[in-house]
Amino acid sequence: MQVFKFGGASVKDAAGIKNIATVLNETGVTEKLVVISAMGKTTNAMEAIVNAYLNDKILLPEHLKATVDYHTQIASDLFTPGHTIFTSLKALFEELKGFLAWNKSPKYDFVYDQIVSYGELLSTTIVSAYLTDQGVRNTWLDARTILKTDNSYRDGRIDWDITQLAIKESVDPTALSITQGFIASDSNNFTTTLGREGSDYTGGIFAYCLNACSLTIWKDVPGVLNGDPRVFNNTELLHQIPYEEAIELAFYGASVIHPKTLQPLQRKEIPLYVKSFLNPKNPGTMVSAVASLVPEVPCYIVKKSQILISLSSLDFSFMVEDNIAEIFQLLALYKLKVDLIQNSAISFSLCVDNKFNGLEKLVNQLKGKFKVTVTPNVHLYTIRHFNQNALDNFQEGKEVLLKQATQNTVQLVTQN
């Protein structure tokens, strides 16, 4: 059995949905489970509905209308007037409006999951009906009745035992099933989500539980490149990546593969393919238990908008265990994610990600004890498998504030 995942970009319009039918017809329409994200930028549009609902109700009707119109337009491009799809979509919108009317919870994360999940419910309903119309038999599955999590809304943690059982019971491995990425439910059957970009992870969960022979993530790029083409020139396609290397790349910030996706696959040695939905016959990239990266080229990763913090003591003490322990306690307390550290006898530098906005509080507290210099808006570059030539070319014209190298990996913090 194979598991496929199609992301938002592949279902952003009617042409994208037609293309899914093409890809399935070319690769076989049985023994397959297909995971689909919300269409285009729908998850962002759903977030706008959540914010309007909780903070600015006057804007709610216009945000709702935009989402209804977008999906209705795509359906009109794919189906004849009067088709049952229009009744199905209407039912989903009524359900969503029903929730908005009866909900009493002011809890953002809970409300978020109940609303945002409609993006995936809508997209899969449209794709499944379109395939049926094209003569491709398929079963639409509600992922919320299969994937079970705890009640950490917006960050649901999978209950593997219950999920495994539910998958065995509800998925026919000989047929074609269509289901939603990103969404699940808790023990009270309230909807949960797996975190932004979580559909890849859904693919990994199904592949693991079904003992699938592979997971394929279909994208608008030819596969995994050795750098983000929006940032780096002359990028190359990576043909083969060992699991460990893919996990490292994801850890340093490569955004092509959701990091949680890889570990379940690695456990059962299920290969992951990343392929272009425009050229389904091209081999793309394979992540598997291969020994080394092919081709063995340097890989470039950038994290923008990071913060460089440099500390030195005010009281002549060295930057050793006790000082460092205190600094790390504060970093954990204010949820700053540390990308890089470097220390000498009297100074300590950190490159951090201020995702949860704890920087100001951290700096105020550090100032009591250390001399603190903060350089905002720096870039952190990581080059895996670097060589001197690649490094020299890369550094040219850049103001390097900090540099750290191990045998395989060099990291540079730059001002630009």
Contact residues: ligand ASP, CB under 6 A: 7-8, 37-38, 43, 119, 181-182, 196-199
CA proximity to 261, closest of 241, 239, 246: 246
For Mg ion, how many residues bind (rule: CB under 5 A)?
Answer: 2
Beta bridge pairs of residue 388? none
Element (H, E) at 401: strand 400-405
Identify what 182 binds: Mg ion, ligand ASP, none; CB under 5 to 8 Å per kind: ligand ASP
Report the nearest approach of ligand ASP to the CB of residue 118 (Å): 11
Q: Which is nearer to ligand ASP, 196 or 337 (CB)?
A: 196
d(CA 14, CA 137): 19
**Residue 168, phi then psi, degrees to nearest 5:** -60, -40
Q: Which is nearer to Mg ion, 45 or 309 (CB)?
A: 45
Identify what 181 binds: ligand ASP, Mg ion, none; CB under 5 to 8 Å per kind: ligand ASP
CA proximity to 13, closest of 41, 34, 33, 35: 41
Report the nearest approach of ligand ASP to the CB of residue 115 (Å): 13
Neighbours of 132 (CB within 10 A): 16
Q: Which is nearer to ligand ASP, 11 or 75 (CB)?
A: 11
Identify what 38 binds: ligand ASP, Mg ion, none; CB under 5 to 8 Å per kind: ligand ASP
Residue in the block written with tokens 């397959």: 32
Q: Which region among 1-9, 119-127, 229-237, 311-319 touches Mg ion (by CB under 5 A)?
A: 1-9
d(CA 30, CA 196): 29
Q: Which is nearer to ligand ASP, 8 or 358 (CB)?
A: 8
Report the nearest approach of ligand ASP to the CB of residue 39 (Å): 9
Q: Which is nearer to ligand ASP, 45 or 309 (CB)?
A: 45
Identify what 246 binds: ligand ASP, Mg ion, none; CB under 5 to 8 Å per kind: none
Q: Which is nearer to Mg ion, 196 or 239 (CB)?
A: 196
Neighbours of 69 (CB within 10 A): 10
Report the nearest approach of ligand ASP to the CB of residue 199 (Å): 3
Q: Which region among 3-11, 44-52, 96-104, 340-348 touches Mg ion (by CB under 5 A)?
A: 3-11
Report the nearest approach of ligand ASP to the CB of residue 35 (Å): 9
Report the nearest approach of Mg ion to the CB of residue 68 (Å): 23
What is the full DSSP assignment across 128-144?
A: HHHHHHTT---EEE-GG
Q: Within 13 Å and on the Cβ side, how many CA atoms surround 184?
A: 33
d(CA 241, CA 255): 15
Comparing every residue's Cβ against Mg ion, the nearest one is: 7
Binding positions for Mg ion, 158-197, rule CB under 5 A: 197
Q: How far is CA 161 from CA 166, 211, 262, 395, in A?
A: 9, 15, 19, 49
The token pair that represents 307 in the structure block: 């913060």
Q: Which is nearer to ligand ASP, 8 or 271 (CB)?
A: 8
Q: What is the DSSP letter of 151?
A: S
Q: Which is nearer to ligand ASP, 31 or 47 (CB)?
A: 47
Report the nearest approach of ligand ASP to the CB of residue 336 (Å): 23
Rounded to 5°, angle at Cα 404 from 400 and 405: 125
Identify what 198 binds: ligand ASP, Mg ion, none; CB under 5 to 8 Å per kind: ligand ASP
Q: Which is nearer to Mg ion, 123 or 323 (CB)?
A: 123
Q: Which is nearer to ligand ASP, 203 or 223 (CB)?
A: 203
Identify what 411 binds: ligand ASP, Mg ion, none; CB under 5 to 8 Å per kind: none
Q: What is the DSSP letter of 268?
A: T
Q: What is the SS3 string spanning 278-340?
A: CCCCCCCEEEECCCCCECCCCEEEEEEEEEEEEEEECCCCCCCHHHHHHHHHHHHHCCCEEEE
CA proximity to 79, closest of 125, 137, 32: 125
Q: Can you give the C-alpha Rg of the chain in angstroms?
A: 24
Report the nearest approach of Mg ion to the CB of residue 20 (Å): 15
**Residue 383, phi then psi, degrees to nearest 5:** -120, 115
Report the nearest approach of ligand ASP to the CB of residue 37 (Å): 3
Report the nearest approach of ligand ASP to the CB of residue 74 (Å): 16
Packed helices 199-209 and 160-170: angle between N→C axes, nearest 10 degrees: 70
- What beta strand segments (E) does 224-298 contain? 240-242, 272-276, 285-288
Which one of residues 7, 227, 271, 298 is an interface residue with Mg ion (CB under 5 A)? 7
Residues that bind Mg ion (CB under 5 A): 7, 197
